[in-house]
Amino acid sequence: MDFVESVDVKSLPPGSHTVISINGKEVLLFNIDGEISTIGNICLHKGGPLSEGKVEKKYDGYYVTCPWHGWEYNVKTGAAPPGFGDQQALYDTLVKDNKIFVSALPRVLPLKAEHKDNPLQDLAELRYESTRSSLNILGISCTNMNQNLPRISTSDEALQDALEYGSEKYNASTVLLKLSDLEFRHCEGYYSRNEQACTWPCSISEMDSNDGMNEVYRKLILWADILVLSTPIRWGNASSLYYKMAERLNCVQNQITLQDRVLVKNKVASFIITGGQDNIQQVAGQMMVFFTELGFSLPPFAFVGWSRGWTAEDMEYNEKLFLKSRYVKRSVRDLIDNDMKLLRQLKGDPCVHIASPQPKISEAPSKIKIDND
């Protein structure tokens, strides 16, 4: 096998590692207690740089941990930890005249193991359940009440009215997801490490197939034709559960940025916003912008709001007045009627490709070569 001269032994003291290029491929040299080894630098998961990972003694040897989502590789063999079949490229290494030489080709080729029965296969392959003729209304409730002290939630009530109306008048299939029933992790900010580390399906979902957001992804992206999202107003904003979910939808928007791939097409979104006091338009504005950023279409008058104004601190009357309100009953129906009209238009002439004016990674300042002229 041909060997390629790399770095001086002195420049790689025990306990250190360094990345070099061999035949255009990034490889990672380690010195563990004087023993030098070389494996591929690019993580088999989503391409994270192992050179930026931590090296620790664990399991049956020393392992480097990918800084993006935590995949691990034995630094001497390139193998994944016991029980996993992934294999990083492994190069032969020798030392001659105080220089380190690395084989021109890997002795062991990289192998990403078949992860059989991938529980997220439907999401990965975007197996849409919505069709040209489907009529699926998804309600997402963002209220967060103590399940052991059940009481009326105005936003939930209005959402359930909307779903019942959609089912009765249009014979639509309806699903209600209550975020408070779903246990899901916060967005852990992989995007801010590297834009490519924020993946579809979400990297957190890949780590934990039981994460509650997986149900939201399935219903929202694959199943729904119409989304009706309800939230209470909390200090002038949507509920904290809403934001927790919205942050986890970065992986949907990010597909547009990274791959010019719009996952949400020909879907309608509308909103129900209720609060004891006001700020409805600000909450609606934020949600409307966010969901159009994902690809949803908005009907005219895309939200229903309920509040009793700045001085209405007499909350004990809020529920009663809400339940008696003819306005609420009528307006949630109008909301669904407008959703349906827009959906029919979309289904009549569905978009196959949607142009997205959002920034793309290929247009980012660091990706554009500056012409000195």
Give the pair of three-digit tokens for residue 139: 């309600």
H/E element, 204: helix 203-207
Report the C-alpha gap between 297 and 279 in whole angstroms.
23
Applying CB under 6 A, the span of 68-76, 155-163, 229-237, 247-255 interacting with ligand FES comes to: 68-76
| Site map 134..173 versus ligand FES, x via CB under 6 A | ----------------------------------------
Distances (CA, A) of 184 to 215, 219, 359, 368: 10, 15, 29, 38
Size of site (CB under 6 A) for ligand FES: 10
Nearer Cβ to ligand FES (61/70): 70
Of residues 29, 43, 142, 256, which one binds ligand FES by CB under 6 A? 43
> Judged by CB under 6 A, does residue 70 bind ligand FES?
yes
Which helix (H) or strand (E) element contains residue 65?
strand 61-65
Site for ligand FES contains 48 (CB under 6 A):
yes
Please, what is the minimum distance in Å from the beta carbon of residue 253 to ligand FES? 19
> In this chain, which of 20, 27, 64, 66 binds ligand FES, going by CB under 6 A?
66
Strand segments, DSSP code E, in 89-240 are: 90-91, 93-96, 99-103, 136-141, 173-178, 226-232
**Least Cβ distance, residue 226 to ligand FES (angstroms):** 34
Give the residue with the Cβ less far from ligand FES, 43 or 137: 43
Task: Please give the C-alpha separations between residue 2 and each of 6, 101, 106, 185, 291, in angstroms, as whole numbers.
Answer: 13, 10, 11, 48, 55
**List 69, 218, 234, 248, residue binding ligand FES (CB under 6 A):** 69
Using CB under 6 A as the binding rule, whether residue 46 contacts ligand FES is answered as: yes
CB of 124 to ligand FES, least distance (A): 14
Which residues have a Cβ under 8 Å from the Cβ of 120 and sit 6 or more positions away? 201, 205, 206, 209, 214
Answer yes or no whether residue 71 interacts with ligand FES by CB under 6 A.
yes
- What's the rounded Cα separation, in Å, for the pair 99 and 4? 10
Q: Is 360 in the site for ligand FES (CB under 6 A)?
A: no
Q: Which stretch binds ligand FES (CB under 6 A): 46-54, 128-136, 308-316, 324-332?
A: 46-54
Smaller CB separation from ligand FES, 73 or 184: 73
218 counts as binding ligand FES under rule CB under 6 A: no
Indicate whether 75 belongs to the interface with ligand FES (CB under 6 A).
no
Listed in sequence order, the residues at least 6 apart from 3 whose beta carbon sits closer than 8 Å to its beta carbon are: 92, 94, 101, 102, 103, 104
φ, ψ (nearest 5 deg) of residue 130: -75, 140
Contact set with ligand FES (CB under 6 A): 43, 45-48, 66, 68-71
